[in-house]
Structure 1
Amino acid sequence: MISGTQFTIVYDVLSFSFATMMATTIFLWMRVPSVHEKYKSALIISGLVTFIASYHYLRMFNSWTEAYEWTGEGELAKTGSPFNDAYRYMDWLLTVPLLLIEIILVMKLPADESKSKATTLGIASAAMIAIGYPGELFMSEDNLGGRWVYWIGAMLPFLYIVQTLLVGLNDATQSEADPAVRKLIKGVQWWTVIAWCTYPVVYIFPMMGISGSNAIVGIQLGYSVSDIISKCGVGLLIYQITIAKSLALKNGNEETPLL
């Protein structure tokens, strides 16, 4: 059973995550007029990622508050309405492919390669989410073997995405003429990979001996922090890249990118 303290911790984290996502959305969309036409799509998609996430965090927050209630004795009790954590996976199914696409859009890639990379990364990320979700349903100690199976399955497309970001797109990254822009693009690639590496760790919390209400709270905290880092953090880095590239184009210092 969730304790009052645990309920409040998750309550505050979900509320904070919603506010952070929405604030980032407003900032990114308000800055769209400041970037060159070529990079507006990337910035709009960045804001769309955090907007979709903010909507789902609001739904998770409401679901969390509807699942528990305070009794007259000041104790916490279940209402009979289950907490719907599937909102998180619905969010990832939409935002993770978009997050990868926004990175592709700020890179100097030919149009056909940009489309190809966006498609393959989008499919791989959707497969990663779809494979991983059933494993979340295995929470008790007697069926954690099933959770490991889905974790391993989801890691296959995850490793493909990591390989593509750090190796497959390296030539495009190195083709950037401006060292500052090249550094920013490398930064967003590494930031994405490092942030995403936190998700598999949170996923295996129940397999690390964390059980019951502690597992529920740990997973909610871990995923929320990971989302803020990977969505808001990447969005702000994309903003920096679009501003830097827009300034370079304005000054005539950058070749026209084939996006």
Structure 2
Amino acid sequence: MKNIENLFEYSVGQFEAIDHLLTMGVGAHLAALVFFLIMSQFVAPKYRVATALSCIVMVSAGLILVSQAGLWTDAFKFNGTNYSLTNLTFSNGFRYVNWMVTIPCLLTQLLIILNFRGSALKSKATWLILSAWGMIITGYIGQLYEVEDTSKLMIWGAISTVFFIIMNFIVGKAIAEGKKTMDARTSGRVMNVFWLMMFAWTLYPIAYLVPVFMNSADGVVLRQALFTVADISSKVIYGLMITYIALDQSAKAGYLPAQKVLGRVAIGTDTDLRN
């Protein structure tokens, strides 16, 4: 019983709210997967890996959320008044395992659309992935103490925050460097991606700290709402923004499929028929 979700009984409204939030997360990721698969054919080859990584993120996150939704409905049964715990337990630990896969993909996507290649891409990606894994692993350890000892939860959370700061410092430097290869409009869109990251990734530590400031059934609902909003923002909306930047840069480089899908060339011309 490592997570606070297993400590409480839930009213019908509370139980269904969490069930619907998890289901919404599944639906958003699966719908985005279809979109990214379709858009991959319109992105120039140099950016296509970024779109492929979006597909990987959607599959990985979607499968975990399917598992979380199933575990939620299996772990609690209606007792005539409320939903109470069965002989199973619900765990948020699976989310951390998923983040070990998805966050490196998300960070690498950003580097690709910032036009890093070769040794520069490898070096920056390595440092970003190592700092991300440090953040995730220490956060995973911390959440194991949220029921037994919130002081240890806070200590491991603080350690995780150090890695979080390092990761964002590297991201900030990469964006400042990558923006030099872009026009003003595209660099502005990249900054929007950065601020989205800051918004979404700040929600995760708030959810992490729910056992400290709202240890109740309502707190669990808030926590799952924060996780869902953060997941959709940091993966689905982030992926949409990355894909548009990849399409935009592809079109500006003269890649015809990207120009057509963005409506920047007339469709039905002889050139279009040949392509």
Q: Same fold (TM over 0.5)?
A: yes
**Which residue, out of 134, 150, 154, partners 1:127?**
134
Q: Residue type matched to 2:164 in 1? A: F
SS of the aligned residue for 1:138 comes to coil
Q: 1:186: which partner in 2?
A: 191
Structure 1 residue runs without a partner (length 5+):
253-259
**Which residue, out of 201, 207, 212, partners 2:206?**
201
Q: Residue type matched to 1:156 in 2? A: V
Alignment RMSD (CA, Å): 1.7
Aligned length: 248
8 Å contact 1:108–1:173 — kept in the other structure?
Answer: no
Provide the rounded CA distance (Å) in 1 between the counterparts of 2:195 and 2:118.
24
Provide the rounded CA distance (Å) in 1 between the counterparts of 2:52 and 2:130.
21
8 Å contact 1:21–1:232 — kept in the other structure?
Answer: yes
Q: Residue type matched to 2:218 in 1? A: N
Provide the rounded CA distance (Å) in 1 between the counterparts of 2:66 and 2:32.
15
Q: 1:255: which partner in 2?
A: none
Provide the rounded CA distance (Å) in 1 between the counterparts of 2:139 and 2:104.
15
Kindly indicate whether residue 102 of structure 2 is the aligned counterpart of residue 95 of structure 1.
yes
**Which residue, out of 64, 85, 91, partners 1:56?**
64
Provide the rounded CA distance (Å) in 1 between the counterparts of 2:29 and 2:255.
33
Q: 1:257: which partner in 2?
A: none
**Which residue, out of 17, 27, 33, partners 1:9?**
17
8 Å contact 1:205–1:219 — kept in the other structure?
Answer: yes
SS of the aligned residue for 2:84 comes to strand
State the Cα deviation string for residues 26-66 of structure 1 (Å, max 9, x = none).
Answer: 10111100111111110110121122101100000000010
Provide the rounded CA distance (Å) in 2 between the counterparts of 1:163 and 1:5.
41
SS of the aligned residue for 1:109 comes to coil
Provide the rounded CA distance (Å) in 1 between the counterparts of 2:74 and 2:117.
49
**Which sits farther off after the overlay, 157-166 or 59-68?**
157-166
Provide the rounded CA distance (Å) in 1 between the counterparts of 2:117 and 2:229.
35
- 1:67 shift after superposition: 0.2
Structure 2 residue runs without a partner (length 5+):
1-7, 257-275
SS of the aligned residue for 1:169 comes to helix
Kindly indicate whether residue 180 of structure 2 is the aligned counterpart of residue 174 of structure 1.
yes
Kindly indicate whether residue 234 of structure 2 is the aligned counterpart of residue 230 of structure 1.
yes
Identity %: 23
User: Given the two structures, how large is their TM-score scaled by the length of structure 2?
Assistant: 0.85
8 Å contact 2:175–2:190 — kept in the other structure?
Answer: no
**Which residue, out of 159, 162, 165, partners 1:156?**
162
**Which residue, out of 130, 141, 150, partners 1:144?**
150
Q: 2:28: which partner in 1?
A: 20
8 Å contact 1:47–1:235 — kept in the other structure?
Answer: no
Q: Residue type matched to 2:70 in 1? A: N
User: Given the two structures, how large is their TM-score scaled by the length of structure 1?
Assistant: 0.90
Q: 1:105: which partner in 2?
A: 112
